[in-house]
Structure formats: structure tokens, C-alpha cells
Structure 1
Amino acid sequence: MTPQRRTALVSIGAAGALVALKLGTGLASGSLGLVSEALHSGTDLVAALLTFFAIGVAGRPADEGHQYGHGKAEHLAALGEATVLALVSLAVAALAVTRLSGTVDDAVDPAWWVFAAVGLILAIDLVRTVVSLRTARRYRSEALRSNALHFGSDFVGTLAVLAGLLAATAGLPEGDSIAALFVAALVLVAAARLIRRNVDVLMDRAPADAEEAARAAIARIDPPVELSRLRLRQAAGRTFADVVISVPPGSAVGQGHAIADRVESELERVL
């Protein structure tokens, strides 16, 4: 099993444990903030499952039908989980508004064991965020990066829930619903960023920074070559380049191949 899939598998176990802990504590205490975080972690569980299988598909080598490989499977999974996140956050926000308006009872029981559970949740969220982010950076995995972003938003969301519970303890029960609204807004922002990033990749949007680096690398080649065409696309943390260059008319075939190899080496170095 690859390190990426191993990290995704650990995320599945952590997300499952958090769903049970947050939902059980939220229902027992009447905290909408914790229930919303349980739903958030539920989408993380789905996301981790998608990531686990998507990384397996993305790791397959290129074949006759997929000549650029299967890397976009990661981005399809990330796009799907972002859509689910957005829908769930809207449902949580609607419930929080009904509580704040008085349509639904706003009874919260912030007992000591609720705060103990929140402390444990924060510790788990922090550990899995750091582990996923380190692995994503090491292997340039977009799916694991999206997981890390979700886990980080879980951590911030749980801090907001803690603040809401402290407010409820101080005699402000609406603090829990306000915390739930904050979590919903946080999730919507994260989902929007994920959707935009992965739609750009799926639509083969040219990465501006990579294109600038590629042009600069080709311009440094000696003897100089004329760049006729440069097209870039990305998938699963890799950049694919389609390059057409012109060499002096008097160059031998062997010289042309040597220049092409030099261009390829420079692009591999900078991309």
C-alpha cells in the first residue's frame, strides 16, 4: 500500500470516530454546533473514502485509453466532496437560523463531559490535519491536500463550537447556534475554494506560474531555440507540457534531437 493510500485509510478511521463522538455528544447535550460538526465530519468520512479509492485509481500507469494517466480521478473526487460539503453546510445554516428565530427550541446542556469531548475532538482534528498536509506536500497529492483543508476547517469549526458552548454556560444559549452558523460559513468558503481549484484542473486551465517558469527555462537554453508553442496542463500534482520548438535550418538531425532533450530536461527540472 502506498503512503498516500495509507494516510487516506488513517483519515477514514479518524473521520468515523469523530462522527460518532460529535454526533453522540451533540445529541446528548442538545448542541447544534456539535451536530453540525458531526455532519461536517460525516462529509469528511465520505471524502476520505473517495480519496482512498481515487488515489488508487490515480496511481495507475498510463494506458492506451488514458495516455496522460489517471491523475484526474483525484480531482473528480475532490470536486464531489466539495459539492457535498456545500449542501450540508446550507442545511446546517438553515437549522441554526430557525433556532435563532425561536421556531425551534434552543436548549443546550454544556456539562463538563461535553467540554472533555470537545478537547479530545480538537486533538484528533489537529493531528490528522498535520499528517494529511505533510503527506500531501510530500507527494503533491491534490486529494490529500483537500482532505487536509477539510480537517483544518474542522479544527477551526470545533473551536467555534467551544466558544458557543462557553457562551451557553455563561447564559447565552444562542451562542451555540451562532457557532453553527460560523461553521456553515467556514465550510462554504472551503468548498468554494476546492470547487474552483479542481474545476480549473479538470478544464485544463493553464497554470500561470508553471507557464512562466517553463518559458524562462527554455529561454535560458544555449544555443537559443525558438519556442513555437507551449501548452501546459496539470493533474494529481503533475504538470504535463506540450512543446514545439524551432532549430536553425542548418542543424543536423542529431543536433535537433539533442536540443529537444535539453528542453525536456529543463522543463522536468522546473516543473
Structure 2
Amino acid sequence: MSTNAKESVAISSVLASAAMTVMKLVVGLMTGSLGILSEAAHSLLDMGAALLTWFAVRIGDQPADERHPYGHGKVESVSALIETGLLFVTAAWIIKEAVSRLLESTPPEVETTWWAVAVIVVSIIIDIGRSRALLKVAKETGSQALEADALHFSSDILSSTAVLIGLGLVWLGWPKGDAVAALGVAGFVLLAGWRLGTRTIDVLVDAAPQGIAEHIEKMAAQLPGIARVERVRARPAGPAVFAEVVVKVSRTLHLEQVESLRRAVLDRLRAELPEVQAVVIAEPLALDDESLAETVRVLAAARGLSVHHVGVATLNDRPHLSFDIEVDETLTIAAAHAVATELEQALAAELGDDVTIDTHIDPRRASNFSGAAPAGNRLAEVRDALATASKGLVDQVHQIEAQEREDGLYVSLHCLFPDDAPIGEVHHATARLEHRLRDAVRGIARVVVRAEPASEGLTG
């Protein structure tokens, strides 16, 4: 529902309260009824509260800004807190006057007239209409200020009924019935103030709405890939609820996968709890089913290291890890060894001393190379060597390229294999092809072999 609807129902409450205040005040002065005068004071309070409500909904619906990143919703709570204070002040005045009349030996004369009864009946009808209208908009918009205003009008219905009973007692010949009715009005005012104040203070001290954290946790935990929900913190601000959700996900996931899970939690919350504005934080967790190879890669990545050829075996009845670790080629052997040792120690601390570890250090070369076309007949030498080396290993070799670089000759080539060839056999064949080429051609620093299925033809 739009802000205009909230403002419209708020301003109509101001007008209704003003009209009832004037009617009750005039009739109360004419009849001398403390009950009706108390109701006039109550309606005057309602008018002030309605004005506060109108102001609050105008300010509270303004969008977030630099100074108020969570919006202005709590303006409504401040308004409701002021209304609570006014309720208690009014109740105190009514109680004082009522007790004073009850203690008097000769209470002031109260006149019971048809117009006094008519004013109270009309006010009850108006209160019923305003209460329903305010509560409807409050529920649709989550406005605490409108809910507080609706509560005021609801309490007015009960207190007006008490005044009618008091007038009836006076008419039946018990003059102090009016003062007793005024005490009843004060009781309803205090009850309304207590209920409103309790809810308002909860909002102002960031008390989480009842059950919202458990609901959010349940929804997030049901999503595939979420290992567990670590923490949910929620606090209300006007019609919105701001939530911080911390979930645990497998530490082996890539950043894109983690972000996808985080977005999935947000999307579900928005679909099922549109009033919740959540921040979802994903934290890594070592799952029980994490493999040894995954543990190696995770701990290496956490240190900015690349590993390959990770192998897991059993050696002398103990788990054994082996892998290649890449370090900057400019490091000394002592520095490179220190890097490898630190990773091995981290693995031992997590996996236990029962696991043995072997690490091979590889130099990580610069990603950008400068080179030139091979001199003389070097490319022809490579082509001839490949023609011989590929026999019995691959179906066809094509797209042969070579480049002279600072560290030696760089060679790249594509080769074809049957579509149903197992990748293990393909890797073995390309490795043998590389070794044969290195034996046949001197000065090769790097060979890159791209294996392709034969169905791709020569398009790869």
C-alpha cells in the first residue's frame, strides 16, 4: 500500500479525534460528568497521538540516506513511545479526579441526559470505524504508528462503554457511579499504554520479532549446499526487519559457487519474507566428507599457492600425500623450502601426524613471455621429430607451433584420439609423445599438447 494511503488514514484519525473531543467536552461541561470529561481528555490525547502518527508516517516512509542507512522507520516507534507517555499522564489525571470525587462526602451533581448518552454512542461508532480502518492499513504496511493509533481507538470503545455504565448508575441513583466509571476509563487507558509501550520499547532496543530468527534459520538451512546456519540476528525498523544471516558452506567451493549459494538464501528470504532485508554472510567450513586431496588444495589456496599432481596413497600402512607445489622461480632454495614446509606443517596440524607428506617444488614462471620465430630449420626439425614420435601413440598431429624464448624452445601441438579413448590412456600417450620429442630435439623448455576427439577432425 502506498504512503498516500497511510497519510490519508492518519489525517482522517486526526479529524475524527478533534470532532469527538469537542462533542465530549461540551456535553461533559453541560452535564458535569467526570466520566465524559475524562473521555474528552482521552479524545484530546487521541488527537495529539493522531497528529504524531501522521507526522511519523510522513517521515518514516522516506528512503534511506547517508545519515540513516537503515531508513527512517524508527520515527514511528519514537512517535508511539511519546503516545505511551501521554496515555499514562492522562490516566494519572483521571485517577486523581475520580479518587477525589469518591472521597467527597457530597459528590458534584451529574446530570444524565439523552444527548450525553447520544454523544457516547456516536463516539463508540466512530471509534469502531476508525480502529478497523487504521488496523487494516497498519497490517498491510507494517506501520507501528498506525497500529498504535488503532489501539487508542480500540481502548476508546471500552472506556466509552464504561462511561455509559457510569451514566446508567447515576440515573439509577448512585452519584458516585460516574467516578467509578472514570476509574474504569483510566484502567483501559493504562492497559493500552502498557501494551503499546512494551511493543515500542522492544523495537527501540532492537528486540527481534517473535519467531523471525527461527523462521529465517529454518528456510536457509533447507537450501542444498548450506552446511548449517551459524547465526541469525534480526531487528525491526518500522515496517522492515533487518537481518544478518551467517551460513557455513564447504571451504572447497569456488567463490562463484559460494556467491551462488548466498544469492539463493537471499532470493528465498525475499520470496517468503518480503519485509525482511537481509545480509547473508557465507563462511568456510571443513566438512566431514572432505577428501585429503581437497584439504591440500584448500590449504594451499589459502596461502596463495598452486598445487598439482596431488596423490593419495597408503605407504607403510599410513596415509601418504604427495603433490607438486609451484613457487616463484626467483626464490632461493631456502625460501622455497620454507614455503613448502609451512604448508606441510599446516596439513599435519589439520590431518594429524599419522599422515606422511612428500612435496615436490616446481618453479612458477612468468605468465607473459617474449619470444621470436625459430631460427633456421628449427620448426622443420620439430615437425619431423613429431612425425616420428607420434607413430603408434596418436592418430594425427596438427597445428604445430614453435617459438624461441629466453629459457628455450616452446612447442605447442594438437593431436587426435578415438572418441571413446579413456582420458587416462590419452594422458599417458601425450606424456610419452612429449618425452620422445624432448629426446629428439635439443633445447626444448616447454611442450603443450592438446588432445582432441577424432570427431572434431581438424577444427580444434
TM-score under structure 1 length normalisation: 0.96
What is the aligned length?
271
The one of 155, 158, 161 equivalent to 1:159 is: 161
Is the helix fraction higher in 1 or 2? Answer: 1
Return the alpha-carbon distance in structure 2 between the equivalents of residues 249 and 89 of structure 1: 60
Q: Percent identity?
A: 38
Question: For structure 2, which runs of at least 5 residues remain unmatched after alignment?
Answer: 277-460
| Residue in 1 that maps onto 2:218 | 216
Correspondence 1:38-53 to 2 at 5 A: 38-53=40-55
Whether the 8 Å CA contact 1:29–1:111 is kept in 2: the answer is yes
Return the alpha-carbon distance in structure 1 between the equivalents of residues 74 and 98 of structure 2: 36
Q: 1:104 Cα shift?
A: 7.1
What per-residue deviation string (whole Å, max 9, x for no partner) do you get for residues 7-50 of structure 1? 00000000000110111111110110011111111111111111
Return the alpha-carbon distance in structure 1 between the equivalents of residues 134 and 256 of structure 2: 47
Return the alpha-carbon distance in structure 1 between the equivalents of residues 256 and 226 of structure 2: 16
Q: 1:170 Cα shift?
A: 0.7
| Residue in 1 that maps onto 2:325 | none
The 1:234–1:104 alpha-carbon spacing in structure 2 relative to 1, beyond 3 Å, is farther
Return the alpha-carbon distance in structure 2 between the equivalents of residues 131 and 81 of structure 1: 19
Say whether 1:190 aligns with 2:204: no
Q: 1:103 Cα shift?
A: 6.3
The 1:103–1:197 alpha-carbon spacing in structure 2 relative to 1, beyond 3 Å, is farther
| Residue in 2 that maps onto 1:55 | 57
Whether the 8 Å CA contact 2:225–2:249 is kept in 1: the answer is no
Q: 1:244 Cα shift?
A: 2.1
The one of 180, 192, 212 equivalent to 2:182 is: 180
Return the alpha-carbon distance in structure 2 between the equivalents of residues 104 and 59 of structure 1: 54
Return the alpha-carbon distance in structure 2 between the equivalents of residues 4 and 153 of structure 1: 21
SS at match of 1:145: helix
The aligned amino acid for 1:55 is V
Q: 1:222 Cα shift?
A: 1.3
Return the alpha-carbon distance in structure 2 between the equivalents of residues 258 and 216 of structure 1: 19
The 1:47–1:104 alpha-carbon spacing in structure 2 relative to 1, beyond 3 Å, is farther
What per-residue deviation string (whole Å, max 9, x for no partner) do you get for residues 44-80 of structure 1? 1111111101111110101111111000000000000
The 1:225–1:106 alpha-carbon spacing in structure 2 relative to 1, beyond 3 Å, is farther
What per-residue deviation string (whole Å, max 9, x for no partner) do you get for residues 134-185 of structure 1? 1111111110001001000001100110011011111111111111001101
TM-score under structure 2 length normalisation: 0.58
Q: 1:224 Cα shift?
A: 2.7
The aligned amino acid for 2:262 is A
| Residue in 2 that maps onto 1:228 | 230
What per-residue deviation string (whole Å, max 9, x for no partner) do you get for residues 108-140 of structure 1? 001112112222111111111111111111111
Is the strand fraction higher in 1 or 2? Answer: 2
| Residue in 2 that maps onto 1:85 | 87
Q: Highest Rg: 1 or 2?
A: 2
Return the alpha-carbon distance in structure 2 between the equivalents of residues 63 and 14 of structure 1: 34
Question: For structure 1, which runs of at least 5 residues remain unmatched after alignment?
Answer: none
The aligned amino acid for 1:71 is G
| Residue in 2 that maps onto 1:258 | 260
Return the alpha-carbon distance in structure 2 between the equivalents of residues 147 and 197 of structure 1: 13
Residue range with higher mean Cα deviation, 220-229 or 89-98: 220-229
